[in-house]
Each structure stands twice: as structure tokens, then as C-alpha cells.
């Protein structure tokens, strides 16, 4: 076996749930929410040990720096990129991240949100992440780096246990996590206060870390949190990116089944994963359609993924203008350079079982009609066999 293969296999073996980088107390609360199956005890032990060993560093940072950030103001309205997973949110976020005026949660911060400014913790754990992080994300071949923009849901979960992404560890509880941490049902007032306080502080730290002036977020769970985010940031701007629901299902299923083996603490059957995708998409998209009207004029822009994929710089120009985001001309050359590199990106190829397609067209008919989509002509329909290829 070559050295490169040895390193690649080692990286696979050390794959751990994201909570291993988080607050020790939050990690314990998350684990207590479900039942860890014996086959994952090794992963559990490693997660607990890493989190416990790093806790003194986290405590130091929170005591040393949090009070400072609490006194800082967020001077510019944040920009929230919303939309269902696999709808192009990452692609759009990466473009915005090229603009020097934009601040964002980095991949490192998403995993180690409380080890950002204290040394030697930042040096040690960032070096470890750069070594362990795969060059491309499992499931979609997106290039990864510790400094690249990342969604903040994992970061929030690593600060406290109030996180929708806990479903990665306990997929059988997906609906319960949706109810509590997207719809905010059955959540205590003190828990909601913690969620809002930590989110605001996370944004301030992200701006300081990336030296940005405008925070740009990419976090699909926020698609169902518009009302809460407007309470926190009345002038916030929102960009909803949407994609053909048939492709969204296939891409989401492939992504989850590729990522979950390195994160889960209990087994999830293909049927469970599929049913969760159907349920969450329906709830999330219907809630967005029912709440987008509360966003004030001039604070919401929508973009079709297929249009953005074909003409990203043109669409960025439109989004900047529609939302009143300044300095497009300064960022345009960076957008154009990045767009030219993306032309060689290889997307996954999909096939679909006829019965599955019929279910999508039935349960997500409202979305197909809302955004005027048909079955993509490049997706092959089969009468049986594997749905994704």
C-alpha cells in the first residue's frame, strides 16, 4: 500500500462526530439525547476523550474573550443564504466568501468554535484539522479547507446542545430535532435565550476571524427560522436558492448516506433516511413559502440554482443590486476567476427508480409547481434497482 493510500485510510479511521470539537457539557447533553449503539462505542469513547482534553482551552477562551465580543456591535445587517440542502447553498456561499468585505464561519470555526483566539489551542487543533480534513467532501466532491466558508449549525451544536444537526448522530430523532431547533417547539425560554445569545456571539467571532464587515451565512436550517432571525436582526437580508426537487432528493440522499457513516452513533436504514428527507423537505419548504412574506421589501432575493450555475457572476451582480450590497465591482474579478475554475467541477450522476420518482412528484408537487419544474431530462428513470448511481 502506498503512503498516500495509508494517509487516506488513516483519515477515514479518525473520522469523528463534529461534537468531538465542542464544549464538553454540550457534547454530553447531545449524547444523552439518544441511545448509542454498542458498535459505535469506540467512536463515542474517542469523542469524549478529545472533547474532555480540549475543555481547558475552551474554558480559557470563553472566560478571556467572550465578554469582549459581547460588547461589540454587528454594524451591518447579516446576509442569510437559505434553501434546502443540496440546492446550491454551498456554491453560492463560496462566491460570497471571495468578497473581502464578507465575514463567515470558517470550516475550522464550525468544528472548534471556542478555540478561535487563544493560543496554543488554535495552533494545535487547526494543524490537526488541516491534516485530517479530506481534500474533497464526501458525497459531492466539493473542495474542503479549514479556511473555507462553512455553515454554522455544527458550530452552534458544538457550543450548546440546541442543534438540528444532532440528527447526524441520532437519525431516528430527526423529527424531534426539527420540531425543537427549527420550529422552536417545546423549547424553554432560557434555552432559546442561550441559542440567540450564542448565535450572535458566533457571528461576531466569525467577523473578527475573517476580518469581514458583513456576515454572510449559509445554513439550511435557517430556511425555517425566518421569523426568529428577523427578531434578532430586523434588517437582515435573505437569499433563497432553490433547485429542481427531483435532483434535490437524489443529491440529498447520496450526501446523507455518504456522510452519515462517519458521524452516526446509531444505525439508520435506507427507508428511515428516505422518509426523513421527504418529511423535512415538505415541512421546510412549506414553512418558507408561508413565512417569506414577513421579510420586508428589499431584504429578500431568490435565485434559481440552474440560472446561478449557468451565469454565476451575472446572478451575483443581480443579488448585490437587489439587496443593496455594496462594492460589487471590487469583488467581480474574484467572482469571474472562481467561476472559470468551477467549469471543470464534476457533479454526481443520478438515476431514479420509477416508484421513487412517483412519490416525489406526488408529495412535492407543490414545490414542482411553485418553481415550475419538470422531471430533469438527464436523469434516467428505471423500473427497479438502485435509486442513486
375 inside domain? no
- Residue-wise pLDDT for 197-240, tens only, equals 999 999 999 999 999 999 999 999 999 999 999 999 999 999 99
Q: pLDDT tens digits for 86-99?
A: 999 999 999 999 99
Domain extent at residue 269: 16-347
Residue 34 above 90 pLDDT? yes
Which has the higher per-residue pLDDT, 142 or 253?
253
Residue 11 has a pLDDT of 42
> Is residue 48 one of the residues assigned to a domain?
yes
- CA pair distance 190, 315, nearest whole angstrom: 41
Through-space distance between the first and last CA atoms of the chain, rounded to whole angstroms: 28
* Nearest-angstrom CA–CA distance, 272 and 252: 13
In a domain, 86, yes or no: yes
Task: Indicate whether 383 belongs to any domain.
Answer: no
6-26 per-position pLDDT tens digit: 334 434 434 567 788 889 999
Average pLDDT on 137-159 reads 79
Tell me what the pLDDT averaged over the chain comes to: 90
Output the pLDDT for position 345: 55
Q: Is 364 domain-assigned? A: no
Helices 121-132/41-70 angle, 10° precision:
130
pLDDT, residue 385, reads 45
Q: DSSP letter string over 9-46?
A: HHHHHT---GGGGS-HHHHHHHHHTS---GGGHHHHHH
pLDDT at residue 176 greater than cutoff 60:
yes
Higher-scoring residue by pLDDT: 140, 266: 266
Strands ordered across the beta sheet of 300-304: 102-103, 214-218, 79-82, 237-242, 300-304
Q: Give the model's pLDDT for residue 119.
A: 82
pLDDT of residue 316: 98
Our CA angle for 46, 50, 52, nearest 5°, is 115
**Number of domains making up the chain:** 1
Question: Is 327 within a domain?
Answer: yes
Res. 388: pLDDT tops 60:
no
Tell me, yes or no, whether 373 lies in a domain: no
Residue 379 clears pLDDT 60, i.e. is over it: yes
Grid cell at residue 146? 479549514
Q: What is the pTM of this model?
A: 0.90
Q: What is the CATH number of the domain that holds 109?
A: 3.40.50.300
Give a yes or no: residue 159 inside a domain.
yes
Amino acid at each position: 500500500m502506498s503512503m498516500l493510500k495509508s494517509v487516506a485510510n488513516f483519515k477515514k479511521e479518525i473520522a469523528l462526530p463534529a461534537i468531538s470539537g465542542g464544549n464538553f457539557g454540550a457534547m454530553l447533553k447531545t449524547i444523552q439525547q439518544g441511545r448509542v449503539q454498542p458498535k459505535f462505542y469506540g467512536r463515542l469513547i474517542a469523542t469524549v476523550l478529545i472533547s474532555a482534553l480540549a475543555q481547558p482551552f475552551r474554558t480559557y477562551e470563553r472566560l478571556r474573550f467572550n465578554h469582549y465580543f459581547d460588547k461589540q456591535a454587528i454594524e451591518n445587517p447579516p446576509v442569510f443564504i437559505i434553501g434546502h440542502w443540496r440546492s446550491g447553498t454551498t456554491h453560492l456561499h463560496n462566491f460570497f466568501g471571495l468578497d473581502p468585505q464578507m465575514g463567515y464561519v470558517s470550516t475550522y470555526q464550525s468544528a472548534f468554535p471556542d478555540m478561535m483566539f487563544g493560543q496554543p489551542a488554535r495552533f494545535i487543533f487547526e494543524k490537526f484539522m488541516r491534516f485530517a480534513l479530506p481534500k474533497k467532501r464526501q458525497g459531492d466532491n466539493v473542495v474542503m479547507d479549514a479556511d473555507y466558508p462553512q455553515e454554522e449549525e455544527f458550530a452552534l451544536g458544538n457550543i450548546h446542545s440546541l442543534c438540528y444537526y444532532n440528527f447526524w448522530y441520532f437519525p431516528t430523532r430527526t423529527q424531534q430535532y426539527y420540531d425543537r431547533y427549527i420550529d422552536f417547539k417545546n423549547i424553554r425560554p432560557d434555552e432559546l435565550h442561550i441559542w440567540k445569545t450564542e448565535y450572535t456571539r458566533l457571528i461576531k467571532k466569525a467577523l473578527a476571524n475573517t476580518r469581514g464587515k458583513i456576515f454572510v451565512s449559509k445554513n439550511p436550517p435557517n430556511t425555517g427560522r425566518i421569523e426568529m432571525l428577523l427578531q434578532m436582526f430586523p434588517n437582515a437580508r435573505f437569499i433563497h436558492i432553490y433547485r429542481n426537487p427531483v435532483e434535490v432528493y437524489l443529491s440529498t440522499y447520496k450526501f446523507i448516506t455518504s456522510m452519515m457513516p462517519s458521524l452516526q452513533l446509531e444505525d439508520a436504514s435506507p427507508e428511515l433516511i428516505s422518509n426523513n428527507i421527504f418529511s423535512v423537505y415538505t415541512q421546510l419548504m412549506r414553512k418558507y413559502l408561508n413565512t417569506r412574506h414577513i421579510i420586508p421589501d428589499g431584504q429578500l432575493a431568490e435565485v434559481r440554482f440552474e440560472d446561478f450555475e449557468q451565469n454565476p457572476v451575472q446572478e451575483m451582480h443581480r443579488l448585490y443590486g437587489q439587496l443593496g450590497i455594496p462594492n460589487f465591482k471590487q469583488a467581480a474579478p474574484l467572482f469571474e476567476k472562481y467561476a472559470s475554475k468551477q467549469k471543470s467541477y464534476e457533479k454526481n450522476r443520478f438515476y431514479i427508480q420509477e416508484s421513487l420518482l412517483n412519490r416525489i412528484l406526488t408529495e412535492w408537487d407543490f414545490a414542482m409547481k411553485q418553481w415550475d419544474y419538470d422531471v430533469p431530462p438527464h436523469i434516467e428513470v428505471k423500473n427497479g434497482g438502485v435509486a442513486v448511481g
